[in-house]
Amino acid sequence: MAGDRHAATTRLRDALDQAGAALTDVHFFSGVHTSFSFEIEEKALPTLHAALVTAGVRLRPEGDAAFAVGPSLAEEATVVGVLAISFADGDGDLTHEIPAVPG
């Protein structure tokens, strides 16, 4: 995903929210990779796909195909997903200073 990773992460979170996805977990791996775990109703997958494309996410062909809605076994099927984003311009050597704890 292109651009500043902070802005890109915000765009991605907003896209998930816009589509009605429930964000269940986020993991940051230095400045080069972030993974978002989410749950969404199956019928909202096309909306999520459009929101991600608008946010600047470029998916592989198999990623695009994963957003196709087919017949589900349940009337209100929920999809659990993980979206892993790599930042080409990210800093793989990010460090965080942890303050000393008295005691």
- What's the whole-model pTM score? 0.75
Distance CA 10, CA 23 (A): 13
* CA contacts within 13 A on the Cβ side of 61: 0
Q: How confident is the model at residue 61 (pLDDT cuts 50, 70, 90)?
A: confident
Angle between helices 5-18 and 45-54 (to 10 degrees): 150
Mean pLDDT value across the chain: 83
Q: For the residues 89-93, what does the mean pLDDT come to? A: 64
Domain boundaries, the chain: 5-86
What average pLDDT does this structure show over 63-82?
Answer: 78
Mean pLDDT, residues 28-57: 89
Residue found by looking up tokens 């909306």 in the block: 47
Percent of the chain with pLDDT over 70: 82
